[in-house]
């Protein structure tokens, strides 16, 4: 059985994919597509060329190669994040980076390159934009992605977000918008999927994932929390407007 989990960071996707992998006895490929940009970055032949067009061409080739490798197997489960469709090294969007720049380096033909219509089972999980974006930037900055996986209470540092952190939020909001587009693509093309947003905890086996739900008080943990919330509110409609003509096929 070939299974895809359409998600993004901070949506419980890791715990879900671990649980389903064991329960259904299928190999867990985790975030396999996210490995590609780092490999390209280390390819000195491409670095010498200093051509983003060549790098994106290589990105598309590698995406297709991984997809073919995955689908050559009898079974697997993997995450599908909209950010995986984009050749981007940092998963940040600086104030100087335009939407057109990102669009130019994004794969929109997800039928060919990701075989999105050939999965035996697709799960879709979402989470409130404000909550998930806050959780993501805090985890990203402090490298604390899986609280409590070793059973102990993690140290939660008090954090002040800087401009580079807001670049992370900017890209995350873009990914949120693209995930909604992906959902609409599935609906428009009658591609069957199961939305587990409201019952995601039912898919997590704590004895397998060894993770627990946390109730982080980000208002206390992030000194400029209010600024962050305003930023999310303001940037979301900007993303919507600037991606209105982005279409998956």
* CB-neighbour burial class of residue 146 (10 A; exposed 0-12, middle 13-18, buried 19+): middle
Q: Tell me if 181 sits within 8 A of 243, measured CB to CB.
A: yes
249 in any annotated domain:
no
Round to whole Å and give the CA distance between 29 and 72: 13
Is the pLDDT score of 241 beyond 80? yes
Residues facing residue 78 across a β-bridge: 4
pLDDT tens per residue across span 93-135:
999 999 999 999 999 999 999 999 999 999 999 999 999 999 9
Domain that holds residue 118: 2-242
Domain count, the chain: 1
What confidence category does residue 59 fall into, taking pLDDT thresholds of 50, 70 and 90? very high
pLDDT (tens digit per residue) in 131-171: 999 999 999 999 887 654 444 556 789 999 999 999 999 99
Output the domain CATH number for residue 111. 3.40.50
Q: Read off the pLDDT of residues 183-211 as tens digits, 9 standing for 90 and up.
A: 999 999 999 999 999 999 999 998 888 66
Task: Provide the CA 67 distance to its chain's centre, in angstroms.
Answer: 17
Give the global pTM: 0.94
Q: How many CB atoms lie within 10 A of CB 122?
A: 19
> Could you give the CA distance from residue 55 to residue 105 in angstroms, rounded to a whole number?
9
Q: Is residue 159 in some structural domain?
A: yes
Percentage helix, strand, coil for the chain under 3-state DSSP, each rounded to 5: 55, 10, 35
Q: Average pLDDT, whole number, for the chain?
A: 93
> Is 8 inside a domain boundary?
yes
**Is 207 inside any structural domain?**
yes
């Amino acid at each position: 059985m070939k299974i895809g989990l359409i998600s993004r960071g901070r949506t419980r996707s890791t715990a879900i994919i671990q649980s389903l992998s064991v329960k259904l006895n299928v190999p867990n490929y985790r975030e396999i597509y996210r490995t590609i940009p780092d490999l390209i970055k280390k390819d000195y032949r491409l670095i010498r060329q200093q051509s983003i067009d060549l790098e994106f061409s290589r990105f598309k080739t590698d995406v297709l190669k991984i997809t073919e490798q995955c689908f050559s197997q009898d079974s697997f489960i993997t995450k599908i994040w909209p950010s995986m469709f984009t050749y981007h090294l940092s998963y940040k969007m600086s104030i100087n980076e335009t939407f057109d720049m990102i669009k130019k380096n994004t794969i929109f033909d997800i039928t060919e390159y990701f075989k999105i219509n050939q999965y035996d089972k697709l799960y879709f999980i979402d989470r409130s934009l404000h909550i998930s974006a806050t959780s993501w930037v805090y985890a990203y900055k402090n490298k604390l992605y899986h609280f409590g996986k070793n059973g102990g209470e993690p140290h939660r540092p008090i954090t002040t977000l800087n401009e580079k952190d807001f670049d992370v939020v900017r890209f995350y909001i873009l990914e949120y918008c693209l995930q909604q587009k992906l959902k609409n693509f599935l609906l428009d093309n009658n591609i069957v999927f199961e939305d587990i947003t409201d019952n995601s905890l039912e898919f997590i086996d704590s004895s397998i994932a060894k993770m627990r739900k946390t109730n982080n008080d980000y208002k206390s943990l992030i000194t400029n929390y209010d600024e962050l919330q305003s930023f999310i509110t303001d940037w979301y409609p900007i993303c919507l407007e600037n991606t209105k003509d982005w279409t998956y096929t």
